[in-house]
Chains A and B, each alone.
Chain A
């Protein structure tokens, strides 16, 4: 079974600085999808970024980028130019591409604090 591990329960960053959140996963599949979701205090789960395992190029969405290391099964999220609105829980998630295994498997989350 697939597992997702986020080893940093809490992280903090100063406004305008860069922070990296770690995520590792375990799977025997060669093709899959990885996601980062943000959950602010409102509790809404917001998609930040996604990565297809077959793509070597790291995904980027504005200030958010990932470092996808398939061999190491690592999928970290880098937030550049951090803003106060980035403060939230961040969840890493894995999804198998195969029918009947479409569920997202989430890590335990990392709480990000942003200081002015």
Chain B
């Protein structure tokens, strides 16, 4: 299996621009998680889905952030408009199949908002 795939790996954008991060979970996994990692706040869960349905979005910082999962093999995290404080590494993780308790992480997207 290819593991969790994220794109882009790096993104540099200017304040006010829209940013879209993409994630493809491991095939057969029915849970998908979006995390953000910063020096100040460490690893934070933003939102997670089960069977494409958002279960807990209490970690989404504000209305500028939105996430979708239109099907079992694809999810997006969108920031509009982006701000410098959104600069972070964004991870997607998935779990399910025979090992629902263990989350497997993608390589992350390093976002820099200027």
Chain A positions within 8 Å of B, measured between CB atoms, are: 33, 35, 37, 42-47, 50, 52, 91, 95, 97, 100, 102-104, 106, 108-109
CB pair A95–B101 under 8 Å, yes or no, is yes
CB distance from A61 to the nearest CB of B (A): 12
Chain B positions within 8 Å of A, measured between CB atoms, are: 31, 33, 37, 42-43, 45, 48, 50, 55-56, 59, 89, 91, 93, 95, 101-105, 107-108, 110
23 contacts between A and B (CB under 8 A): A33-B101, A33-B102, A35-B102, A42-B107, A43-B37, A43-B89, A43-B107, A44-B105, A44-B108, A45-B91, A45-B105, A47-B103, A47-B104, A50-B102, A95-B101, A95-B103, A97-B101, A100-B55, A102-B55, A103-B56, A103-B59, A106-B42, A109-B42
State in angstroms the CA–CA spacing of A47 and B105 once bound together.
8
The chain B residue sitting closest to A52, CB to CB, is B101
Most buried by B among A33, A47, A97, A104: A104
- Please give, as numbers and ranges, the residues of chain A lying within 8 Å of B42 by CB-CB distance: 106, 108-109
- Please give, as numbers and ranges, the residues of chain B lying within 8 Å of A37 by CB-CB distance: 105
The chain B residue sitting closest to A50, CB to CB, is B102
State in angstroms the CA–CA spacing of A88 and B66 once bound together.
31
- Please give, as numbers and ranges, the residues of chain A lying within 8 Å of B55 by CB-CB distance: 100, 102
The chain A residue sitting closest to B3, CB to CB, is A44
State in angstroms the CA–CA spacing of A37 and B105 once bound together.
10
* Contacts beyond the supplied A43-B107, A45-B108, A102-B48: 18 A-B pairs with Cβ under 8 Å: A42-B107, A43-B37, A44-B107, A45-B91, A45-B93, A45-B105, A47-B103, A50-B102, A52-B101, A97-B101, A100-B55, A100-B56, A102-B50, A102-B95, A103-B33, A103-B48, A103-B56, A106-B43
Given contacts A35-B102, A103-B56, A104-B103, contact A43 B45 (CB under 8 A): no
CB pair B108–A43 under 8 Å, yes or no, is yes
CB distance from A65 to the nearest CB of B (A): 18
